[in-house]
Amino acid sequence: MKKSQKNKTQLKAVDFFCCSGGVTNGFRKAGIDVLGGIDIDERYKLTYEKNNKGATFIHADIGQYQPEDLAETLKIVPEMDNMVFIGCSPCQYYTTIQTDKTKSSQSKLLLEDFKRFVDYFRPGFLFIENVPGLESKVGSPLSKFKEHIKTIGYVFDDDVVNAADYKVPQNRKRYVLIATRVNNEIKVPVPKRKAQVTVRQAIGHLSAILAGHKDSNIRMHWAGRLEEINLKRIIKTPHNGGTRLAWKDDLELQLKCYEGKDKTFSDVYGRMYWDLPSPTITTKFYSITNGRFGHPEQDRALSIREGAILQSFPASYRFYSDSLVIIARMIGNAVPPKLAQAIAERLIQSFNHYGSIQN
Which position among 18, 19, 91, 257 bears the catalytic label?
91
Please name the amino acid found at residue 162: N
State the SS3 of 97-108.
CCCCCCCHHHHC
Among 345, 287, 291, which Cα is nearest to 171's? 291
110-121 and 142-151 helices, crossing angle to 10°: 10
Report the C-alpha gap between 29 and 78 in whole angstroms. Answer: 26
**What burial class does residue 2 get, using C-beta atoms within 10 Å of its C-beta: 0-12 exposed, 13-18 middle, 19+ buried?**
exposed
Residue 91 falls in the annotated catalytic set: yes
CB 294 within 8 A of CB 269: yes
Report the C-alpha gap between 128 and 137 in whole angstroms. Answer: 16
Question: In angstroms, what CA-CA distances link 40 with 17, 62, 145, 174, 343?
Answer: 8, 7, 22, 23, 25
Sign of the torsion formed by the C-alpha atoms of 210, 216, 220 and 225: positive
How is 274-286 classified by DSSP, letter by letter?
Answer: TTS-B----TTTT
Report the C-alpha gap between 44 and 59 in whole angstroms. Answer: 9
CB atoms within 10 A of CB 63: 13
- What element of type H or E holds 71? helix 67-74
Report the C-alpha gap between 338 and 100 in whole angstroms. Answer: 30
Report the C-alpha gap between 181 and 213 in whole angstroms. Answer: 51
Report the C-alpha gap between 191 and 168 in whole angstroms. Answer: 12
Active site positions, annotated: 91
